[in-house]
Every structure is written in structure tokens, then in C-alpha cells.
Amino acid sequence: MITAMKAIYHSELFRKLEDAEIGLYTQSPKYVYCYLKKELLTGKYV
């Protein structure tokens, strides 16, 4: 569980979620998860 939380909190996606101008936090969890999954698989935010 700790490893999963670290992966999320240290991801580029998390920084995008915190940015109010981008508004990613308003998207559905499924949509956001797709971005996280891509970032974890490729090592970069797509």
C-alpha cells in the first residue's frame, strides 16, 4: 500500500491534479486512472 501511495504522490499526474488551471481533478476517476496507468507503464506523463 505504501508503494502504491508513493507512486501516485510522486507522479507527474499528481502534480497535474493539483493544478487548478488544468482542471484534471474535475475528470472521472476512470479517466484519471488511464493517465496514471500510462505514466507508470512508460515512465512519463502522456
User: What is the pLDDT at residue 20?
Assistant: 93
E strand or H helix at 4, and its extent?
helix 2-9
Q: What Cα–Cα distance (Å) separates residue 25 from each residue in 1, 3, 33, 39, 41?
A: 22, 22, 11, 17, 21
User: What is the pLDDT at residue 31?
Assistant: 94
User: What is the pLDDT at residue 46?
Assistant: 65
**Number of domains forming the structure of the chain:** 1
Range of the domain at 10: 2-42
pLDDT in tens, 1-46: 889 899 889 999 999 999 999 999 999 999 999 999 999 899 877 6
User: What is the pLDDT at residue 43?
Assistant: 85
- Identify whether the C-beta of residue 13 lies closer than 8 Å to the C-beta of residue 36: yes
Distance CA(38)–CA(1), nearest Å, equals 20
